[in-house]
Structure 1
Amino acid sequence: MKKRALVVCPGRGTYNAAELGYLKTHHAARQDVIATVDAIRTELGQVTVSQLDNAAKYAPSVHMTGDNASALIYACAMADFAAIDRERYEIVAVTGNSMGWYLALACAGIVDLAEGARLVNNMGGIMHQHGTGGQIVWSVVDDNWNMRPDKILFVNYLLAEARINSEIRVDISIRLGGMIVFAADEAGLKWLTERLPKDDRFPLKLMHHAAFHSPLLNHVVPMARASNLVGDFAAGDIPAIDGQGRIWSPRAFSREAIYDYTFGAQLTESYDFTRAVQVAAAEFAPETIIVLGPGTTLGAPTVQALIASGWRGLSSKADFQARQQNDPILISMGMAEQRALALS
């Protein structure tokens, strides 16, 4: 009997030095996906994802910029999605983090592979050229991945303080499981760096990231709409859960509505990845969560979101690790020792 699976799509920042060669290593036979993305890049005179993935050395100034990173991540994730064994898994829903919403659209069949690649490439270029501000990540969980109420209160206090300070702009960009991703202008980034308590990892300023999912990107909306067509959107084949926890069921929505969200609120309002995962898990009852590659950073936030909602009695990091031993509830395709579990 097939296992019911929720697929989670990664966002920006997941193709790093450790992922160089991901396509070559895992998808040498998946030329349909790679060639589709390469063709769109070639039309525009851009370096292809094949060339980027085959580079002799990882270069942050090349591989991490929006115009290149977005297409690379799309190609890797969509090749992973195509490689999932459909005889073993019934994909009941799909969601994603941030840019992962665009990937979710393609996985769900709301846009086809080529249109998804074009959308991602368009948005990556727009963000690279016109994105403003930046992002800072801060953890709000303890060592066992349980939410800390004191940290949640502190975040709310910071936001209230920022709202009355006319010299800065600070918003929540993403609720990312056990982390809060802040979006801010340059003054706001400096202010957050000074105000947020520090440990050995956080607060972490993300390289080559704009103030995604905040009003600081209001000016990007008309550019996004001018570069992407409503006619590219279709009825879909698999339910998709967006960054507000809304379910877009196949043939149960208008393409104008999903277009308006994708190139509207999805750009300028907070993206609640935590809620998206929780809604998907509650409404579609998956037995397995499959996180597409590249990278391995989205596994922990996904599990943290599930712990926060008590999904299937999940209560802590230790509880999760114990359950993973025999019959994994989460498969991270970016991890060599786990990806085989998703393949035929």
Structure 2
Amino acid sequence: MSGRRTAVVVCPGRGTYNKAELGYLARHFPDARLLAAFDARREAAGQDSLSALDGAERFSLARHTRGDNASALIYVATLGDFLAIDRDRVEIVAVTGNSMGWYSALTCAGATSPEDGFAIANTMGTLMQEALIGGQLVHPFLGEDWRPDPARKAQLLALVAEIDARAGHALALSIDLGGMLVLAGNTAGLEAFEGAVEPVDGRFPMRLGNHAAFHTALQDPVAARGREALGPGLFAQPALPMIDGRGAIWWPGATDAGVLRDYTLGHQVTRSYDFTRAITVAAREFAPDMFIVTGPGTTLGGAVAQSLVLAGWRGMGDKAAFKARQGEEPLLVSMGLAEQRPLAAGQ
């Protein structure tokens, strides 16, 4: 135990397997037999194998970001990185995730087997793609310095509520993501928001391709189909604490597997996901030496850092304070970054 750094592992969600990640499984997944089992399962269901998707000559937005493909790729990439963490140097004290990263967190924490976790992620991703109800966009409320701005956040959320109250409009907070608000709704709701706010950095508000209205009531039919397809036997006691999208902790030895299934295939699908709260609780309850964000991708690291600033963790009140703290000894390790991966993974 001595000499090991404690860590909370953070599992990424949709939108993290992109062009730069093509070949990620070939480069990093440590268990060829397990990958072959996942491939066989997909092929039996008439889906492209993960090896074929990951080994494609070119990245295709239309192909690789579809829910039925992206969810499985991200789940397996995350699992591979989790398995690669060097337990002689790192003591994992808790696991959390963003959005569909919750499915990955279940497996990393031991609440599902790798195969059962794959069934959950692949099934839910497929059901989301088949239904493709509504859409998502992302918009920042923090400035470049990351200084907390609760008034700006409240102003934007009031606008969301006002638009949602209009006839024929649906709009809600999908994910509270550090300094970003991920909003979801129908076409009328999304377009109304896009037309009401001032553009930021020439990029925001940014519509997210191949994303449905995740974490809103619009997903009630998808959640119902998920409960029909995924039985209670897939869920078990976790071996590690898990922090969910409400900031609630699921403790080893004290988790009701039925309640865990109800949350995963209910609230987690149809209600707002508070990633910022999950990171705040992880920091305050477990006080880790570092946060390890598994791959694929590197985009979730910013949301983790912003969440820690918003929480005032270790006195950090802005971006400069975080960077200074990060420069002393890495507080945040992104396994998708080649230069940071060795800080978590075995050699």
Q: Same fold (TM over 0.5)?
A: yes
Question: 1:185 Cα deviation (Å)?
Answer: 0.5
Unaligned residue ranges in structure 1 (runs of 5+): none
Deviations 1:201-237 (A, max 9, x none): 2100000000000011111121010111111101110
Aligned-pair Cα RMSD in Å:
1.1
* Counterpart for residue 286 of structure 2: 284
* Counterpart for residue 197 of structure 2: 196
Question: 1:261 Cα deviation (Å)?
Answer: 0.5
8 Å contact from structure 1 (residues 6, 286) kept in 2: yes
Question: 1:251 Cα deviation (Å)?
Answer: 1.6
Provide the C-alpha distance between the structure 2 equivalents of 1:16 and 1:217, rounded to a whole number of angstroms: 25
* Counterpart for residue 155 of structure 1: 156
In structure 2, what residue type is equivalent to 1:216? L
Question: 1:148 Cα deviation (Å)?
Answer: 2.2
Provide the C-alpha distance between the structure 2 equivalents of 1:15 and 1:30, rounded to a whole number of angstroms: 19
Name whichever of 219-228 and 107-116 sits farther off: 219-228
SS in 1 for 2:10: strand
Matches within 5 A, 1:36-55: 36-55=37-56
SS in 2 for 1:78: helix
Provide the C-alpha distance between the structure 1 equivalents of 2:164 and 2:63, rounded to a whole number of angstroms: 36
Provide the C-alpha distance between the structure 2 equivalents of 1:177 and 1:33, rounded to a whole number of angstroms: 34
Provide the C-alpha distance between the structure 1 equivalents of 2:342 and 2:75, rounded to a whole number of angstroms: 20
| TM-score scaled by length of structure 1 | 0.97
* Counterpart for residue 77 of structure 2: 76
Are 1:266 and 2:277 counterparts? no
Deviations 1:153-211 (A, max 9, x none): 32132123124312201100000000000011011111111112202221000000000
In structure 2, what residue type is equivalent to 1:285? A
Query: Please, which of 16, 21, 24 is the counterpart of residue 22 of structure 1?
Result: 24
8 Å contact from structure 2 (residues 9, 294) kept in 1: yes
Name whichever of 142-151 and 254-263 sits farther off: 142-151
SS in 2 for 1:294: coil
Deviations 1:302-331 (A, max 9, x none): 010110111111222112222222410000
How many aligned positions are there? Answer: 343
In structure 1, what residue type is equivalent to 2:231? L
* Counterpart for residue 172 of structure 1: 173
Question: 1:90 Cα deviation (Å)?
Answer: 0.8
Are 1:238 and 2:236 counterparts? no
SS in 2 for 1:325: helix
Name whichever of 319-328 and 83-92 sits farther off: 319-328
Question: 1:48 Cα deviation (Å)?
Answer: 0.8
Provide the C-alpha distance between the structure 1 equivalents of 2:98 and 2:56, rounded to a whole number of angstroms: 27
* Counterpart for residue 228 of structure 2: 226
| TM-score scaled by length of structure 2 | 0.96
8 Å contact from structure 2 (residues 163, 192) kept in 1: no
* Counterpart for residue 187 of structure 2: 186
8 Å contact from structure 1 (residues 65, 128) kept in 2: yes
Query: Please, which of 254, 257, 263 is the counterpart of residue 252 of structure 1?
Result: 254
Provide the C-alpha distance between the structure 2 equivalents of 1:109 and 1:193, rounded to a whole number of angstroms: 41
Amino-acid identity (%): 48
Question: 1:38 Cα deviation (Å)?
Answer: 1.4
Name whichever of 309-318 and 242-251 sits farther off: 309-318
SS in 2 for 1:81: helix
Pair 1:298–1:16, CA change in 2 (3 A): same
Provide the C-alpha distance between the structure 1 equivalents of 2:84 and 2:33, rounded to a whole number of angstroms: 12
8 Å contact from structure 2 (residues 160, 193) kept in 1: no
* Counterpart for residue 340 of structure 1: 342
Pair 1:44–1:173, CA change in 2 (3 A): same
Deviations 1:252-307 (A, max 9, x none): 02111011101111111100000001001111111110000000000000010110
Provide the C-alpha distance between the structure 1 equivalents of 2:65 and 2:18, rounded to a whole number of angstroms: 8
Provide the C-alpha distance between the structure 2 equivalents of 1:291 and 1:180, rounded to a whole number of angstroms: 20
SS in 1 for 2:339: helix
Provide the C-alpha distance between the structure 1 equivalents of 2:120 and 2:50, rounded to a whole number of angstroms: 15
Name whichever of 162-171 and 256-265 sits farther off: 162-171
Pair 1:83–1:147, CA change in 2 (3 A): same
Provide the C-alpha distance between the structure 2 equivalents of 1:312 and 1:326, rounded to a whole number of angstroms: 13
Provide the C-alpha distance between the structure 1 equivalents of 2:49 and 2:307, rounded to a whole number of angstroms: 35
